Amino acid sequence: MTVPDQGEMEKTVVGGLSALLGPGAVVTEPHELARYEQGWRYGRGAALAAVRPSSTEEVSRVLAFAAARGIRVVPQGANTGLVGASTPDATGSMLVLSLERLSRLLEIDPVDRTVVAGGGVLLSQLDAALAEQGLLFPIDLGADPTVGGMVATNAAGTRVLRYGDVRQNLLGVEVVLADGTVLDLMAALRKNNTGLDAKQLFVGTSGVFGVVTRAVLRVVPRPAQRATALVGAASGATVLQLLSHLERGLGDVLTAFEVVSADALGPVFRYQPRLRNPFGAALPPYTVLVELSTTLPSERISLDDLLESTLGALLEGEAGEGITDIFPGKPSDLWDVRHHVSESHRHEGEVLGFDISVPRSSMAVFVDAARALVAAEYPFIRVCDFGHWGDGGVHLNLVWKKDEAVRETPELKAELQPRIYDLAVTSFRGSFSAEHGVGPHNQAFYDRYTPALVQEVCRTLKARLDPQGLLGTTRLG
Amino acid sequence: MTVPDQGEMEKTVVGGLSALLGPGAVVTEPHELARYEQGWRYGRGAALAAVRPSSTEEVSRVLAFAAARGIRVVPQGANTGLVGASTPDATGSMLVLSLERLSRLLEIDPVDRTVVAGGGVLLSQLDAALAEQGLLFPIDLGADPTVGGMVATNAAGTRVLRYGDVRQNLLGVEVVLADGTVLDLMAALRKNNTGLDAKQLFVGTSGVFGVVTRAVLRVVPRPAQRATALVGAASGATVLQLLSHLERGLGDVLTAFEVVSADALGPVFRYQPRLRNPFGAALPPYTVLVELSTTLPSERISLDDLLESTLGALLEGEAGEGITDIFPGKPSDLWDVRHHVSESHRHEGEVLGFDISVPRSSMAVFVDAARALVAAEYPFIRVCDFGHWGDGGVHLNLVWKKDEAVRETPELKAELQPRIYDLAVTSFRGSFSAEHGVGPHNQAFYDRYTPALVQEVCRTLKARLDPQGLLGTTRLG
């Protein structure tokens, strides 16, 4: 009797999967496989194959097949995650389970204000379909993820202040467990208070407890109008004061409150000359993108007028102290500036990104502390911070030119990460991952900062839901 | 060696607890104990004693003490729950752990828009403190529960349409497990995407996994104005049409959409003569209480005008078909009517209440089906339905005069419950407990309708978090 070598085992697996789903569903050619092995920005590995089922039933068959053979599987949506949780590891022995073909199901109930969507439906696809019905799924972010991926990473973005994250807009899910069992939690109910809300186990847990194949989402009436302005602020404290002031008066129509520091904004105008810089050479320490939106028609109330007069009045009162500039502008233009921030930093040199949150009243102090930490010991690094101050979220990009650094990039990153995370988590009771979730990219910090008891609960859940430990590359316990 | 009898064991336990917390913290006198043994509306049992710790540390000591002796404990807030989950069983061997003394901690951070509150803080107390700062915790319901109780039952009420339930406004919790371990999940973060959101295990699970001793709540800016009207509708279908119409135009300021059927509203005016009945003798089949509210000042936009003109314009168009009456009125007056609905039914005779939800687009059809079911076989029963149609929630009160019933009340209830729940859950994919949670009162239906796998997960969690099974009277798995 001969022991089959790895090549033969691969052939058996690929053959078996092709027999299950048809040959078109299994990807093995290196040039086709590459996009399943490489993340959008982070994460790279080597897969045995990628398999693309086109129904829940097929997902179930693939997982049952893999479980029977002890093959590890990484679920993948649009592969736009930022923590490396949707790509295989380097062993070449994992199967990528792509949900991209679960994209056809998209049922909108306008009276219910809910959508049933397949796990592979793209955010852009969802948005286009909803727009036709005057509805909106209020998650807004730079990438175009799938519904399943958004559930598994609890996607958030720029309008959480007003609408909440995916968790808060999710009514039901269908999940396939590692052994192929289909768990139907697809209740389209806004109120359903019957013990443990089991769907929460699959939100933000990187697919390690099960694969999200369908979801029921709650959607909102699409705004009829939108008004935006850039506001210059002399300090972080001024920004927080502005936030409180605007929330009190405009709380119901304030949809976004995005903040970009001068260091973070400079590169945008340097590398995107087509974008208009209303400030000129001297950027204010902080620029705030304020967005109002409402379903109320402009004949009732004009948000442009409301925003302009509110900001104008602000300048005259005490709350306006430290406000340096006010530039109303077209929403698409101003969001264009905001959405080019992160990308522009990559033109400046090496970037080490952090996705931090702190209690939002501590934001200004936290960013100052991070700046002080860096300035004291790494004078060649610029702290380019920007983010969702309305939600206490900040993307802290540390940027430096390679040739000015005292150490090699990997060494420097390894040194900086624990220091910044420790400042955020330990000194400010913040989070080491505000919205990107958990994956190999930040696994070490998950291990360090997650209470032992929570990790133990996750281990207990994993032992029941995926006893062989086959699903995903993230380890929650 | 003699075996101590129950009386002696009780003395030992009471003595031990008094030594731990001081004698004033332990209640054993029957006339004082009664209010801990008897629920606000449902639930009655007999307790060994009630113990009232005044800090998390004391809660921990009490639970460790009880765990060491295998004593079962039922956590209790304001004891206003409606499923019997906060009262002891009939054995006389359980300890009531009252959180009422954890009421002193109440820290408001107006910039963060968060509150840290002790588990024993009352909703009314929270609201009064927040009002001073122009803030609001947006849970509105008939009772005055504690913060801990609201978390354990995921309280909801009349403004979920706009603001969500407790789960959606909860940032962090502190929980004491059955063995006295304190689990600190008190992050005051709006974005914190670091794996399993462990606090979800303690939301809506009736205290069986741990006792909520503190919470961080997200609060909202308090509205500056409010406008309400009663709208008469000829049918349930008209009500749903009105809901869609109002959401499209007024989505951002629509705060409540409460619906009361004629059968449910009649008793209000019969038993509360001080409440004004604008309709006269002929009540419309459905009355809708529409509430708008906003933080925008009335100089910007008058909600009274907006509501009146929107409803007025409605009458002229197609969407107004079936609208029979429009009566604007003072919010406090109209809410007074709404809040007396349930109570007034008790004057009419026997009441069997159901707290159902269905996908909200099915609400009219569901209620008609329930009416048809009852009319066909129980002609002496009136279906008095009212509730939160904007959230798909309906309280279905079945009301009859005892002497007209063909069977004894308990027998009739036992026959009706499974039929109505089955209609809701099986035929309409609805919930047998929209907002009241799970307890002994509906345990049998939890057992019947909860997926076996979810019950198994709960059993697994219980085995880790409360291995002796000492906490609570609800059984989730």
Token pair, residue A197, equals 């809300």
pLDDT of residue A405: 82
Q: Is the CB of B237 inside 8 Å of chain A's CB atoms?
A: no
Note whether A247 and A297 are same-domain residues.
yes
The answer on pLDDT for B118 being more than 80 is yes
Q: Is residue A441 part of a domain?
A: no
Q: Residue A115 phi/psi, 5° resolution?
A: -130, 135
Helices A6-21, A56-69: axis angle to 10 degrees equals 150
Residue A454 lies in a domain: no
Closest by CA to A140, choosing from A277, A263, A305, A289, is: A289
- Asked if pLDDT for residue B80 goes beyond 50, the answer is yes
Nearby residues of A425 by Cβ (< 8 Å), 6 or more positions away: A431, A432, A445, A449
**Residue A150 reports pLDDT greater than 90:** yes
Closest-CA residue to B443 (of B455, B453, B429): B455
| Statement: residue B1 has pLDDT above 70 | no
Instruction: State the Cα–Cα distance between residues B421 and B427, nearest whole angstrom.
Output: 9
Give the per-residue pLDDT at A1. 47
Pairing of strands A382-387, A254-261: antiparallel
Q: What CATH number has the domain bearing residue B248? A: 3.30.70.2190
Picking from A466, A454, A462, A438, the residue whose alpha carbon sits closest to that of residue A86 is A438
**Are residues B457 and B477 in contact, defined by beta-carbon separation less than 8 angstroms?**
yes
In a domain, A164, yes or no: yes
Considering only CB atoms, B431 lies closest to which of A191, A223, A434, namely A191
Which pLDDT tens digit goes with each residue over A288-307? 999 999 999 999 999 999 99
Determine the Cα–Cα distance for residues A350 and B57; give it in Å rounded to an integer: 48
Give B117 or B5, the one with higher predicted confidence. B117
Specify the pairing of strand A286-294 against strand A225-233: antiparallel
Q: Give yes or no for residue B348 having a pLDDT over 50.
A: yes
Q: What is the least distance, in Å, from the CA of A368 to any CA of chain B? A: 18
Starting from the edge strand earliest in sequence, which strands make up the sheet with B323-329, in order? B323-329, B225-233, B286-294, B254-261, B382-387, B393-400, B350-357
Cβ partners under 8 Å of residue A122, min gap 6: A78, A103, A144, A145, A146, A147
Angle between helices B236-250 and B303-316 in degrees, nearest 10: 130
Q: Which pLDDT value is given to residue A2?
A: 54
Check whether residue A43 and residue A77 sit in a common domain: yes
Pair (B19, B114) in one structural domain: no
pLDDT digits 0-9 by tens, B58-79: 999 999 999 999 999 999 999 9
Last residue of a domain, one of A64, A98, A132: A98
Asked whether the beta carbons of residue B457 and residue A191 sit closer than 8 angstroms, the reply is no
- Whether B359 and chain A come into contact, CB under 8 Å, resolves to yes
Provide the pLDDT for residue A406. 81
Is the pLDDT score of A475 beyond 90? yes
Q: Which residues of A touch B156 (CB under 8 A)?
A: 191, 193
Domain of residue B300: give its range.
225-342
- Residue from B150, B162, B171, B193 whose CB has the most chain A CBs within 10 Å, to mutate: B193
Residue A9 CA to residue A49 CA, distance in Å, equals 12
Same domain assignment for residues B335 and B356: no
Assigned domain for A448 exists: no
Q: CA triplet A107, A23, A148: central angle to 5 degrees?
A: 30
B 4-63 residues with CB below 8 A of A?
none
| Cα–Cα distance for residue pair B464/B476, rounded to 1 Å | 14
| Claim to verify: residue B53 and residue B148 sit in the same structural domain | no
d(CA B456, CA B404): 44
Q: Which residues contact A278 (CB under 8 A, 6 or more apart)?
A: A230, A325, A327, A329
Whether the per-residue pLDDT at A89 is higher than 90: the answer is yes
Partner-chain contact A438 B195, CB within 8 Å: yes
B281 is written with which tokens? Answer: 């003798």
CB-based contact B191 A388, cutoff 8 Å: yes
Query: Considering the entire predicted model, what is its pTM?
Result: 0.96
Q: In whole angstroms, what is the distance from residue A139 CA to residue B163 CA?
A: 17
Between residues 421 and 440 of chain B, which touch chain A (CB distance below 8 Å)?
Answer: 429-438
Range of lowest pLDDT (A456-470, B28-42, B109-123, B433-447): B28-42
Give the CATH number of the domain where residue A68 resides: 3.30.43.10
DSSP A415-468: HHHHHHHHIIIIIH--BS-SSS--SGGGHHHHHHHS-HHHHHHHHHHHHHH-TT
User: Which residues does A141 contact at the CB level (< 8 Å), separation at least 6?
Assistant: A123, A155, A156, A157, A158
Task: Report how many domains make up chain B.
Answer: 4
Which of A64, A81, A98 is the last residue before a domain boundary? A98
Most B CBs within 10 Å: which of A193, A450, A454, as the mutation test of the B interface?
Answer: A193
Residue of B nearest to A242 (CA): B111
Taking the C-alpha atoms of residue A185 and residue B457, their distance in angstroms, rounded to an integer, is: 14
Specify the 3-state DSSP secondary structure of B18. Answer: helix
* Residue B449 maps to a domain: no
A324 occurs within a structural domain? yes
**Quick one: A230 and A334 in the same domain?**
yes
For chain A, the average pLDDT equals 95
CB-based contact (8 Å) between A195 and chain B?
A: yes
Q: Is residue A187 part of a domain?
A: yes
The residue among B342, B374, B409 that closes a domain is: B342
User: Taking 80 as the threshold, does the pLDDT of residue A236 lie above it?
Assistant: yes
Task: Tell whether B141 and B201 lie within a shared domain.
Answer: yes
Tell me whether strands B47-51 and B94-98 are parallel, antiparallel or unpaired.
Answer: parallel
Question: A145 vs chain B: nearest CA distance in angstroms?
Answer: 16
**So what's the pLDDT on residue B137?**
97
**Which residues neighbour B205 within 8 Å (Cβ) at sequence distance 6 or greater?**
A195, A196, B152, B474, B476
**How far is it, in rounded angstroms, from Cα A433 to Cα A356?**
6
Whether B294 shows a pLDDT value over 90: the answer reads yes
Least CB–CB distance from B460: residue in A190, A358, A460: A460
Between CA A248 and CA B373 the distance in angstroms is 49
B438 → closest Cβ in A194, A306, A460: A194
Question: What's the start-to-end Cα distance of chain A, in Å?
Answer: 40
> Minimal CA–CA distance to A222: which of B163, B247, B390?
B247
Residue B446 belongs to a domain: no
Close Cβ partners of A164 (under 8 Å, ≥ 6 residues apart): A138, B164, B168
Q: Are A155 and A217 in contact (CB under 8 A)?
A: no
Q: Are B390 and B156 in contact (CB under 8 A)?
A: no
CATH of the domain at A189: 3.30.465.10
In chain A, the residue whose alpha carbon lies closest to the alpha carbon of B163 is A163
B427 and B379 within one domain: yes
Measured over all CA atoms, what is the biggest interatomic distance in chain A, rounded to whole angstroms? Answer: 89
Let me know whether A121 and A187 are in one domain.
yes
> Looking at chain B from residue 163 to 192, which residues have their Cβ under 8 Å from any Cβ of chain A?
164-165, 167-168, 181, 183-185, 187-192
- Residue A352 to residue B182: CA distance in whole angstroms: 36
**CB-nearest partner of A194 from B167, B200, B446:** B446
Report the candidate in A224, A257, A78 with the shortest Cα–Cα distance to residue A158.
A257
| Closest in A193, A253, A306 to B437, CB measured | A193
Domain holding A386: CATH number?
3.30.70.2740
Nearest CA in chain A to B136: A248
In chain A, residues 279-298 whose CB comes closer than 8 Å to chain B: 294-297
Would you tell me which residues 442-461 of chain B have a C-beta closer than 8 angstroms to some C-beta of chain A? 446, 449-451, 453-454, 456-458, 460-461
Residue B144 and residue B80 share a domain? no
Give per-residue pLDDT as tens, B320-343: 899 999 999 999 999 999 999 999
pLDDT tens, residue by residue, B150-206: 999 999 989 999 999 999 999 999 999 999 999 999 999 999 999 999 999 999 999
- Does A168 contact B165 at a Cβ distance shorter than 8 Å? no
Mean pLDDT of chain B: 95
Residue with tokens 């503190």: B214
Provide mean pLDDT across the span A448-452.
Answer: 98
Chain A: give the shortest CA distance to residue B193, in Å: 5
* Percent with pLDDT over 90 in chain B: 90
Q: Tell me which chain B residues have a C-beta less than 8 angstroms from the C-beta of A428.
A: none
Between the alpha carbon of residue A24 and those of residues A20, A28, B42, B349, the distances in Å are 11, 10, 60, 67
Cβ-based contacts of B465 with chain A (< 8 Å): 457
A25 lies in the same domain as A58? yes
Distance from CA of B70 to the nearest CA of A (A): 22
A93 in contact with chain B, both atoms CB, cutoff 8 A: no
CB of A115 closer than 8 Å to CB of A137 = yes
CB distance from A392 to chain B under 8 Å? yes
Name B427's Cβ contacts closer than 8 Å, sequence gap at least 6: B369
Grade residue B41 by pLDDT with cuts at 50, 70 and 90.
confident
Closest to B153 measured CA to CA, from B85, B74, B248: B85
Q: What is the pLDDT of residues A214-229, one digit of tens each?
A: 999 999 999 999 999 9
Closest approach of A308 to chain B, Cα-based (Å): 13
Question: In this model, does residue B3 exceed pLDDT 60?
Answer: no
Contact residues, chain B, for A165 at CB < 8 Å: 191, 193
Q: Quick check: ipTM above 0.85?
A: yes
- Asked if A165 and A156 touch (Cβ cutoff 8 Å), the reply is yes
Q: Residue A213: is its pLDDT beyond 60? A: yes
Considering the domain architecture, whether residues A231 and A334 belong to the same structural domain is answered as yes
Strand segments, DSSP code E, in B72-210 are 73-76, 94-98, 106-109, 114-118, 135-136, 170-176, 182-185
Q: Give residues with Cβ within 8 angstroms of B127, minimum separation 6.
A: B136, B137
CA distance B434 to B390: 13
Closest CB from A114, A156, A183 relative to B191: A156
**Option in A300, A454, A464 nearest B457 (CB):** A464
Query: What is the end-to-end Cα distance of chain B in Å, rounded?
Result: 40
| pLDDT at position A4 | 56
